Chains A and B, each alone.
Chain A
Amino acid sequence: MDNFRHFDLRSAALFLLLAVLAVIPLFGDIFYTRLMTRIMIYAMAALSLDLILGYGGMVSLGHAAFLGVGAYTVGILSLWGVQSAFLSWPLAMLVSMLMALVIGAISLRVSGVSFIMITLAFAQMLYYCFISLKGYGGSDGMTLPVRSSLAGLLDISRHGSFYYLVLCILLLIFFAAHRLVHSRFGMVVQGIRDNERRMLALGFPAFRYKLVCFVLAAGVAGLAGALMANQNLYVGPALMHWKQSAEILVMVILGGMRSLAGPVLGAMALLIAEEALSSYTEHWMIILGPLLVIVVLFGRKGIYGMLKRSR
């Protein structure tokens, strides 16, 4: 949806996808409604990672930490009796962003492999930190009694309502991200990705822009985490394990970096493939692994990139 005017294969695929997403709960099959809700939440997380990975050129292997922090914020508040989504979801974003501010301020001083390792290390630190929080379930995690309340505006304990709320939030985030990447800020971030030395020479304080980008992405991931907690009525440390970060990374690469639709398609493709293959065999990774290798080797711009070429 980088250019709304051209009706090409990409736009066609995206409109079809949107149409399908709009009607799924109408079939009344809770399994698919829940599966697609989960996919859309992961799509948000993947999209937020692409803001720093694809647009900002920062390869983070700790993005799930913000997902986990967002989820735990909602979980812990719920345990304290705070059920209002209007309070707990923005707080989930805020806590994630504060965490990103600290992690980013340290890890963005380096780049490349060092950056990957530091983000990974921070995420694993948080993972073990939450495992040791026995009051909040430790390694077992904790279950939430109810989904967040929306002050009587919408009852999201019904899967269909929750589905549509998540869809709306995804569309909002997509739109906001679209504005962001084409804004002055977006241009600066992409400029830094392509040529940081030149950006400094032009007078841009690159570090500050990268940090803000990192923090904004963490905010979106935190919101995805808050939704995840509601989706599963459960929060556990596994949500911030590095495997989770890697999975989100795979979604972005599979779908296509440097686009906003790519991560959404990647989340969808990966989770549906997982779901489909795991119903045949528990060793589904044996099939999915090579498939990933093929997509990455032959379609270096991912699924979304391939759509353009085969026009």
Chain B
Amino acid sequence: MLTGALLEVQGLEKSFGAIMACARLSLSIMPGEMHAIIGPNGAGKSTLVALIAGELRPDAGVIRFSGKEITALSVHKRSRLGLARSFQITSIFQGFTVLDNVALAIQARSGHSFRFWQNARQIAALREPAFSMLEQVGLTGRAQAVAAELSYGEQRQLEIAMALAVKPKLLLLDEPMAGMGAEESEQLTALLLSLKGKQTLVLVEHDMDAVFSLADRISVLVYGRMIAVGTPDVIRSLPEVRKAYLGDEEMEGACSRID
């Protein structure tokens, strides 16, 4: 166990009937670290994300976040503590404009919203930070577009922008590159690289290029068990990792997937 960890997961267990989705799983994320979690389909990555975010309750185990136990805390309270996430399946407000989407995320960290009179779209304290967030992800040109009209790649960018906009202590990205083309993935990788050292990140991802260029450490999850944790170089060279997940010598080829 590492001391001073921002997120600390200990002995986490979760099963669905006979399926053990998470088996005595432990994980420590240090402040400023970019930590990737990889594993084949059905390894329990989505379950782990849901457990950390608070959408699922573990059968056993403890989750601590910045020194506080959050195992029983609801999703919105965890978010308030600074644990933000993005969704694997794009989860934006389709009927709102792109700027509205991010402004709503800014609003989430700007005190309570029991404010009934002032027009939310005219509050500079919400709109300006939202706009600069769009600048950061390269979506300013689409600020006034309705979110539903964005291309898939742009929607993924918006998804990330909203997660970043709440200025989280820890950002949990659930397959941010899912369904993206090679060029879009590279753009997003570059964006995340620019956050290196400034943003603590847990990245669940299948795109091995992204994982190996971003991660400080990588955890390998297979059938709900953490079979290895280490730096990219260590993970790359582990025979059991190759066998369990990477498959053979040609990593990139083996890691493409369809789902």
Contact = CB atoms under 8 A, between A and B. Distances in A.
Given A201-B79, A201-B84, A203-B109, A183 B92 contact: no
A200 B105 CA distance: 11
A296 interface: no
A243 interface: no
Given A184-B123, A197-B91, A203 B117 contact: no
- Interface residues of chain A: helix, strand, loop or mixed (majority): helix
B3 to A, nearest CB: 28
A180 B116 contact: yes
A202 B91 contact: no
Interface in A159-215: 179-180, 182-188, 190-191, 194-195, 197-206, 209, 212
Contacts, number: 95
A98 B96 CA distance: 32
Q: In which size bucket is the chain B interface?
A: 35 or more
B92 A184 contact: no
Interface in B49-104: 53, 55, 74-77, 79-80, 84-85, 87, 91-96, 100, 103-104
Interface string A3-43: 00000000000000000000000000000000000000000
Contacts of B108: 202-204
B95 A194 contact: yes
A185 B115 contact: yes
Given A185-B113, A195-B93, A203 B76 contact: yes
Given A201-B53, A205-B76, A209-B113, A184 B107 contact: yes
Contact of A183 (B80, B105, B115): B115
B75 A200 contact: yes
A204 B123 CA distance: 19
B118 A183 contact: yes
Contacts of A202: 76, 79, 84, 104-105, 108, 162, 166
Shortest Cβ-Cβ A-B pairs, 5 listed:
A203-B79, A202-B108, A200-B75, A184-B113, A184-B115
Given A184-B113, A188-B104, 14 more contacts: A182-B121, A185-B115, A186-B120, A187-B103, A190-B95, A191-B93, A194-B93, A194-B94, A197-B91, A200-B79, A201-B75, A201-B79, A203-B80, A209-B113
Interface of B: 53, 55, 74-77, 79-80, 84-85, 87, 91-96, 100, 103-105, 107-109, 113-121, 123, 126, 162, 166
Interface of A: 179-180, 182-188, 190-191, 194-195, 197-206, 209, 212
